[in-house]
Each structure stands twice: as structure tokens, then as C-alpha cells.
Amino acid sequence: MKMVDNQQEEYKEFLNRIRAERKASSNLANIVFTFVIAVLCAVLVCVIVIDNNLFVSHGISNNEDTSGIFKFTRKQRNLLETPFSPRRQNILLLGIDSNGDNTDKWEGTRSDTILIVNIDPKTHSIKAISIPRDSKVYLPENKGVQKINSAHAIGGVNLVKKTIKETFGIKIDKYLLVHDDAVEKIVDALGGIPIYVEKKMYYNDYSGHLHINLEKGNTVLNGKQAVGYLRYRKDGLGDIGRTQRQQWFMKSLFEKLRSPQVITKIPEVLNVTNNYIKTDMSFYELSQYAAMARNVDNNKVEIATLPGAPNQKGYISYWILDPAKTQEVINRMIYRDKPVLDGSKFKGGIMYSPKREADAEAIKEKLNDMGYEVNMLKLTHLSHSRFVANKNIVTIEFFNMLQKKLPEIHNFQFIYDPTENFSVGSDFTVVLAEQ
């Protein structure tokens, strides 16, 4: 009992530290990668349901070009006959902020969301690395020491790609830029997103034009409400609670995008994407990624954030990357290195909401029967169930094996977090939220 109390105190200290360290951060920067993924999903769904031949033959003539992201020259049209590369690809996804009204959407703008998605067409698996926007790096071309999110403002997407190559050794194959107004407009174009709001949310920021007034319960969020839901932070959990809501929102968004009603929304969604997305991918490439995405097993999607710690230098707050753990994440997610197991049993952990105590006890009993030692921790604020790998030796294959024996975690999202923020003295943690 004493050990559990100590763990609870340690976790409270962790939450307090996070709130203090991120208090001055912009709301947009802390929405991680939700905006980028949301719009990409909308594009892919549109590509899936459109008849490719009809779009190409009737929408574009041999000598015609189109506005927006779908631009074709005669040479590019020939790419439609080119076989899709079976090798793994690194796709750079950037969420671009706004410089205000009546300004260019892409010039001189920061990339407050930076995500590298490693896609393997052979195994239909996806691994994604989120790079904190405040990461302290040296920009190529003698641009000096800067936060990585300034690379796009200084030198556009090419400087971002060079920075990632020289800092992390990762070659970017393709890129996709998404403007920060896109999610609000995409949600409205889709007719709203059904979601369960876990608590009453009320907040007004008149200078930032952010007004949130959501009641607890099941509801359908419009564009502005969805942005408010994703940006809400006054729940005692700061960025942790916000990250959980992003993941919850993504689940609801995927369900919406798979519904038959989306077909009627395609023209409006395409209009939004044409105005708020920029990419070097051809229509053919987008369609191939879309076809692959349609067949991706959710159990083969793995997400991680580059680990580090905040550091204040004067009025500037940096995220100082942990070199060893960052390399570990890159090796796992980009190069897909497999850890060497020593044969010892993993230690399990369960974090659970008070209302899920019976479920937590049942899972603990099953894990014990399988030979795993399990530590448990009850926490009031848990809004998203998931499976967290705290150590590199815990692979997604292990998770898939465990799912066969534990139907309770079948639809759980797999997160790799070497910072061990969700560890209960454990190698892996099952997080059981109320909803």
C-alpha cells in the first residue's frame, strides 16, 4: 500500500512539473499531430471512394492542370502507370501555423506540428515519430541554433528536410503540409464528429479568440467545438489530458470517415484540402497510400514522441532531446530494429480509473496466471484506454500476442513511450479509462 501511495505522489509531481514546464507554450504547438493526421485521413478517404479513372479521364484533359494539391502535367500523368515502390517510405507531415489574415499560407510560417511517418507497403504497417516543436537543433546552411519549428519559417520545407537529415539521419521521401485552419473546416465539411465529452469544459480566451463551452456526455462537435475540445487544458492534466483527447478524437474521426455518408461530403472536403494542403505527392501516390491505409491493421500502427526534457534559456524554452533514447526511438521506428530478448518475463502495470477497478483486477488476475508480475495504480483523471510500451524490449508483436489472450485490450492503441511517464514500475502498462 505504501508503494502505491508513493507512486501516486510521484505521478502527481510529474503532472505538476509538466504543467509548469509547458505553461507558456502555445495551444497549437501542444496539439501534437492530430491536425495533420486528421486532414490526411480526409484526403485519403476521398481518394479511396473516388473512381480514379473517372477523376483522371473526365476531370483533367491531356493538356490541363488543376489548382490545389492535384496538379498534373503530361509527364506526371504517366506516373499513374508506374508501379508503386514496395520499399519503406518516410513521409514528413507538417502542421503549419498562420501569420494572420491576408498573408501567404505557406511563406514564413512555422511548423508547430512535425511528424515523420514510416510506411511499409509490404507489411501494411505504420510507425510514426512526433518531433516536439521546441526541440533545440542546429539548422543547416549556417542558420544557427534554433527551435526546429522555425526551420520552415526560415527556409521552407527543404530546410526542414535538411535539418531532419543532418540531425537525425532520416531521409525524407515525400512531404505533406497542412494549414492549421484545416481541421475546423474538415470537421464542418464532414458534418461534425460524434464524440463523448468526458467532463464539462468551459473556457474563454478573448485575446486568442478561443471560446469553449461543452457539456459532459455524447455530442456531435462542429469545427469550432472540435478545435476547442482538442485545445482544452483546464482539467488538472495540462498537456497529458490534451494528448489523450487528441487520441480519442482520432478514433471518432476514423469511424466517421469510414461511414457511407462521407461519400456525399467528398466535393466539400476536396475543396478544403485543395486550399489547405500542399504536397509533392502525385495523385497516383496519394491513391496508393490510401489503398494501403484502407488495409492497415490498427494493431500494426505504432506511435512515439522523441524523448527529452525542457530547458529554459532566458525567455526561450527549448526541448533538449535525450540523445541515447532519441536514437533508440529512431532505430525502432525508422530502421525497425528488433530488440534482443534475454528470456526474462516482463513486468506488467495497470493504471485505471476508479470505475474500472473490477476490470483492472480481472486483467491483473489473467496476467498473473500468465506468469507476469503486475503493479496497479488508481488515478482519477484517465480519459483514454491504451497499451503503453515503456521499454524497447516490449514490441508490437508482443502486444498482438497479448491481445489474443486478453480480449479486454483488443481495440487498444499501442504507444511506445521510453520516458516511462505511464510506468508503474513496469515494462508495459495497460491504461483503463472510464470510456
Helix (H, G, I), strand (E, B) or coil at 84: coil
Confidence of residue 49 (pLDDT cuts 50, 70, 90): very low
- Taking only the tens place, the pLDDT of each residue in 346-377 is 999 999 999 999 999 999 999 999 999 999 99
The closest of 334, 29, 309 to 168, measured between CA atoms, is 334
The residue among 246 and 349 whose pLDDT is bigger is 349
Specify which residues 85 forms β-bridges with.
Answer: none
Specify which residues 116 forms β-bridges with.
Answer: 92, 129
- Taking only the tens place, the pLDDT of each residue in 112-134 is 778 898 988 888 788 888 888 88
β-strand pairing of 125-130 with 111-120: antiparallel
- Give the span between the Cα atoms of 59 and 44, in whole angstroms: 18
Whether 418 contacts 391, CB under 8 Å: yes
pLDDT(67) > 80: no
- Taking only the tens place, the pLDDT of each residue in 163-197 is 999 999 999 999 988 887 777 888 888 889 898 88
The closest of 352, 377, 367 to 433, measured between CA atoms, is 352
pLDDT(220) > 60: yes
pLDDT(60) > 50: no
The closest of 33, 36, 4, 8 to 277, measured between CA atoms, is 36
Q: Which pLDDT belongs to residue 80?
A: 42
Mean pLDDT of the chain: 76
Grid coordinates of 44: 485519403
Q: Which pLDDT belongs to residue 81?
A: 43
Q: Which pLDDT belongs to residue 394?
A: 93
- Taking only the tens place, the pLDDT of each residue in 255-279 is 777 677 777 777 777 777 778 888 8
Whether 371 contacts 345, CB under 8 Å: yes
